[in-house]
Amino acid sequence: MGGGINPPPEVLQQWAKIANPEHPSQTRGWGLVILCVVLFTFALAVVVARLWARLMIRRTAGIDDIVIVLAMIPTAGLALSTALASRLYGFNRHAWDLTPELAQQSRKLTLVMEVTYMASTCLTKISILLFYRRMSDGAISSIFRTIGYISIASVVAYMFAFSLAGVLGCRPISAYWLQVDLTWASTHPRGKSYQCINEGAMILSACAVSIVQDFLACGLPLPLFWKLQLPKRQRIALAAIFSVGFFLCITGCLRLYYVHKIYYTTYDVTWVAWDAWIWTVIEAHLAIICSSAPALKTFFKRYLGSLSLTGASSWTRRQRTYGRKTTGFSAHHHSGLATSSTTNLDGGHGKAYELGGISVTKAVEIETRSVPMIVGEKSAKSSLSEEERISHSPDPTNRSPWLYVDPPKPHQNV
């Protein structure tokens, strides 16, 4: 059995016996509309929290934040057009219950949803790749950065190529939606009055390329985190974030399955497309939520208290050599009288990035540990006893690996 948007005459004859556009025998509910509203509201809230954390709290906003804001525009269009299509323009009923006008409107919205989905997911991938590039600045080989740039270029090329293919796939463009009108199609033979590319093959190819890009975006930072050698709790936190990313890859595979079913196994396109649009909406919105997750800990910690996915443990990788400066990546945890200061290699302040509650700082770090001193009740003119001087001085045979400050010498009368 074939499939697609152009059923053969024998299928149309069977549909004519059961068609009832005024009172469809079976319709979908409000599930897809509710899904669009909930996911878009949540994604919008997450992006607002991300921008607040990056702009107002950490003041480390970058190009990746600008791109994710741009991604919200087509995402809003996708959510709105999907909700309208599922309630008003035919995607809640079988194809044989569509009027010619409703069939054309469903095709117009299909084109809008395809283009907005393409723009939303591609801009989100670009934002993620830009974040990887910013986070790994100076931390990994140039090969990683080159792969990142190539990945961004491939996503941009993919977005423009398949978006243009969808919009310009039919000549004239109006044939994209007019071909499902049987009256118009009977007087306008394909190949003479209009031409269209193989829509099913084009969309399947786009889905396959998108899945490859999804796996690449999820797997690209793994060498970076492996190099950081994080402790177990922080590895679990990162695994949770990346498990969501790989779940998006699964949603892409499910979308591929339903697209194949629409174009090659059934002519009841609008009914089967309902399932495809569910996974399309989930993929687009969860991608934005997942890409914004690293900035949420900063927001929650500021306004909801000390929330931490990784516990109170800290990780430090640096060379602890007495009296020397060291460079590296460190997640800070200080206690007691220990203090630290960071200076950027360029002479400015250190750059810090948050990823799932892990603060990664690229800096030159100097740690100093002060020595406790007791100020006695003796006047400045009197000297400390020998016993007091010994008890309050650092043991020279057991020096700390950090720098320490010697207590001031007592004032002596001349």
Q: What is the mean pLDDT of residues 273-284?
A: 94
What is residue 410's predicted lDDT score, i.e. its pLDDT?
53
Please, which pLDDT band fits residue 403 given cuts at 50, 70 and 90? very low
State the Cα–Cα distance between residues 146 and 67, nearest whole angstrom.
Answer: 20
Q: How confident is the model at residue 303 (pLDDT cuts 50, 70, 90)?
A: confident
Mean pLDDT calculated for residue range 380-391: 46
Ramachandran area for residue 333 (φ above 0: left; ψ -120 to 50: alpha; else beta): beta
CATH 1.20.1070 location in the chain: 9-302
Residue 146: predicted pLDDT? 85
Q: What is the pLDDT of residues 156-189, one digit of tens each?
A: 999 999 999 999 999 999 999 999 998 898 888 8
Selected residue with higher pLDDT from 358 and 197: 197
CATH topology of domain 9-302: Rhopdopsin 7-helix transmembrane proteins (1.20.1070)
The residue assigned the tokens 């400015």 is 348
Measure the CA–CA gap between 173 and 154, rounded to whole angstroms.
Answer: 27
**Cα separation of 282 and 253, whole Å?**
12
| Number of CB atoms found within 10 A of residue 241's CB | 17
What's the mean per-residue pLDDT of the chain?
76
> What mean pLDDT is predicted for residues 347-355?
44
Look up residue 36 and give its amino acid: C
